[in-house]
Amino acid sequence: MTTPLHGQMMDVPLTVSSLLAHASRHFGTTEIVSKRIEGDVHRYTYRDCEKRAKQLAQALIALGVEAGDRIGTLAWNGYRHLETYYGTTGFGAVCHTINPRLFPDQIAWIINDADDRYILFDTTFAQLIDRLAQRCPRVRGWIVLTDDEHLPAMRSPTPLVSYETLLEPHDGTFDWPLLDERQASYLCYTSGTTGNPKGALYSHRSTVLHALGASLPDAMGLSSRDSVLPVVPMFHVNAWGIPHAAPLTGAKLVFPGNHLDGESLFELMETERVTCSNGVPTVWLGLLNYMKEAGVRFSSLQRTGIGGSTCPPAMLRTFEDEYGVEAIHGWGMTEMSPIGTLATLNWDQSQRPPEEQRRLRENQGHVIYGVDMKIVGDDGRDLPWDGVAFGELHVRGPWVIERYFQKDDSPLVNGWFPTGDVATIDRDGFMRITDRCKDVIKSGGEWISSIEVENLAMAHPAVAEAACIACAHPKWSQRPLLVIVKHKDVEVTRDELLALYEGKVAKWWIPDDIVFVNELPHTATGKLNKLKLRELFRDHVLPLQREVPNCPHSKRGAAGSGSTPAPE
Ligand code: AMP
């Protein structure tokens, strides 16, 4: 065997600190603006941010924190949280972002599982910390992300110190060490609806490669001319990588803190001339409702990334047709750092008729370089990319997990990560999520896409939120039940909603019943909690067994091998 000829280029490791160092040196005066919990606006620059991140690194090292130690955060999007991102990972510690919307029991469980050394938290979470501190005996200290003046009154955790007091003795003259790029950078737990959450442990290499991929023109397309406002929380999958992609590209960063209502977001977007923003559909719903009621329009926003759960087509249309803002639907997951696909069009696709373009962009989209995907049937075989066959979506790539934190067995199947999402992929390579594997509705052995059913309901102006779940049925085993939250002051009847489906989907996809409720249960990351919903409607009795026409119930083969009969 001949020895391979190696390239002769520098082996410079890809480290998270290099992103902030780059911004500090080349975009040193570019601003980072944060709406603080107190309501005032804080502004400083990338250069200031790097200095303070270094002060934090010095402080943590002085406290005895070592490379590999986990440092937990319970915090909103803001400059101190950003400093924590870099001040921990910069010297090899691991930044463990914790979702404060989880139940306290789960948070305590996560802190103990991660074995966090210190926890940094925003003042809004003082009571929460009071409740869980005693259950986390291995945490050495609790740091409040504020100054002494604003320290909240708290009962229990000791030692307790304000962040500003911790930083004060340190001068920020510190060189980021050259770490091995395979060292751990961030720890993010999934917000599973069943069982305990599982940790995804990113590396410096995966974080930096993801930031590069996320910044590409056909992804978030960030640049130093952008002002970017991540609404998606920094405690949820690193705010989709924006805190890394922004310093990489030199984009101005705007943080909303905990001011996430429509009016506050709109005002911040306007005053900071935000060009690009990212968040889950629920947040945009609040913003769009506010804008409609207040009769206001965006003056700087150019594009918005929407993901985390299915973006209703009606929302894409509102952004584009009413406000002239490009809405980019994307898909990803904690296990993927998180970006997997985005629905932007290439040159050829953008020449097609407007309706065809729209249809493409309603999908979850194409992969970006760095992610490889395929769909597999029940028998484990790859399925065709014809837009019809559907099966479980598998992915692989340098920012996809290989195994979960503290778990020995690998979840991979032949080197691919099974996402638990059910999808189709069309000839354009556009992926469309039809369901979570566990939310799939099987009627007479055939799959019904709950997401398609929900999307059609969401197109009605009276519908604020829709969830389609499986309901037990004596003949068909399961039938779809649609649960609706109406907008206030807009009326719609069950029959009007059912009429929406006529001619748009196969007759056997039409829900057997529609129930109106005041609210739907959500997970800690704002996704519909269908597990809870199914429990709530476990005893629901469907109207007298409707005959379900044309349901190809006799043969399970199609669904089993991953293909669905074409809707009529
Ligand atoms: P998380 O790890 O909490 O970010 O959740 C990831 C899961 O959210 C994915 O596996 C999908 O089930 C769902 N998800 C994310 N983005 C989308 C999207 N655009 N459409 C539908 N489901 C999505």
CA 311 to chain centre: 12
Helix residue ranges, H only, 115-261: 126-132, 163-167, 204-215, 242-249
Which of 371, 527, 531 for mutating ligand 1's site (highest number of atoms within 8 Å of CB)?
527
* Class of CATH domain 13-216: alpha beta
* Residue whose CA lies nearest to ligand 1 atom number 5: 333
189 lines ligand 1 (CB under 6 A): no
337 lines ligand 1 (CB under 6 A): no
Report pLDDT for 398: 98
Q: Do domains 13-216 and 439-536 have the same CATH topology?
A: no
CATH architecture of 439-536: 2-Layer Sandwich (3.30)
Report pLDDT for 295: 96
CA 483 to chain centre: 24
Catalytic residue among 83, 181, 335, 362: 335
| Active-site residue flag, 190 | yes
| Low-confidence spans in the chain with pLDDT less than 70 | 192-194, 544-568
Give φ, ψ of 483 to 5 degrees. -115, 125
Gyration radius of the chain's alpha carbons: 24
Neighbouring residues of 290: CB distance < 8 A, sequence distance ≥ 6: 261, 262, 263, 266
Report pLDDT for 506: 83
The residue to which tokens 């409607």 are assigned? 537
304/228 Cα distance (integer angstroms): 10
250 CA from centroid of ligand 1 (Å): 28
Q: Name the burial class of residue 396, with classes exposed (0-12), middle (13-18) and buried (19+) by CB atoms within 10 angstroms of its CB.
A: middle
Catalytic residue among 15, 30, 73, 190: 190
449 lines ligand 1 (CB under 6 A): no
Report pLDDT for 517: 94
Which of 187, 331, 373 for mutating ligand 1's site (highest number of atoms within 8 Å of CB)?
331
Q: Name the burial class of residue 293, with classes exposed (0-12), middle (13-18) and buried (19+) by CB atoms within 10 angstroms of its CB.
A: exposed
457 CA from centroid of ligand 1 (Å): 20
| Active-site residue flag, 447 | yes
Q: How many CA atoms lie within 13 A of 161 on its CB side?
A: 14
What atom of ligand 1 comes closest to residue 306's alpha carbon? 19
Report pLDDT for 545: 54
Longest dimension (CA), the chain: 76
Domain layout of the chain by residue ranges: 13-216, 439-536
Conformational region of residue 409, where left means phi above 0, alpha means psi within -120 to 50, and beta covers everything else: beta
Conformational region of residue 308, where left means phi above 0, alpha means psi within -120 to 50, and beta covers everything else: left
What atom of ligand 1 comes closest to residue 190's alpha carbon? 2
What atom of ligand 1 comes closest to residue 330's alpha carbon? 19
* Residue whose CA lies nearest to ligand 1 atom number 1: 333
Helix residue ranges, H only, 242-343: 242-249, 262-271, 281-294, 313-317, 323
235 lines ligand 1 (CB under 6 A): no
249/228 Cα distance (integer angstroms): 11
13/7 Cα distance (integer angstroms): 15
Catalytic residue among 109, 142, 331, 447: 447
Report pLDDT for 192: 63
191 lines ligand 1 (CB under 6 A): yes
Report pLDDT for 527: 82
Interhelix angle 46-62/79-89, rounded to 10 degrees, is 50
310 lines ligand 1 (CB under 6 A): yes
190 lines ligand 1 (CB under 6 A): yes
467 CA from centroid of ligand 1 (Å): 15
What atom of ligand 1 comes closest to residue 329's alpha carbon? 19
Q: How many CA atoms lie within 13 A of 135 on its CB side?
A: 15
- 3-class DSSP assignment, residue 465: strand
Complete DSSP assignment for 58-112: HHHHHTT--TT-EEEEE--BSHHHHHHHHHHHTTT-EEEE--TTS-HHHHHHHHH
318 CA from centroid of ligand 1 (Å): 22
529 lines ligand 1 (CB under 6 A): no
What atom of ligand 1 comes closest to residue 523's alpha carbon? 3
Find, among 455, 285, 240, 276, the residue nearest to 362 by Cα: 455
Report pLDDT for 442: 83
Report pLDDT for 491: 87
Report pLDDT for 324: 96
331 CA from centroid of ligand 1 (Å): 6
237 CA from centroid of ligand 1 (Å): 11
Q: Name the burial class of residue 63, with classes exposed (0-12), middle (13-18) and buried (19+) by CB atoms within 10 angstroms of its CB.
A: middle
What atom of ligand 1 comes closest to residue 338's alpha carbon? 4
Give φ, ψ of 482 to 5 degrees. -105, 125
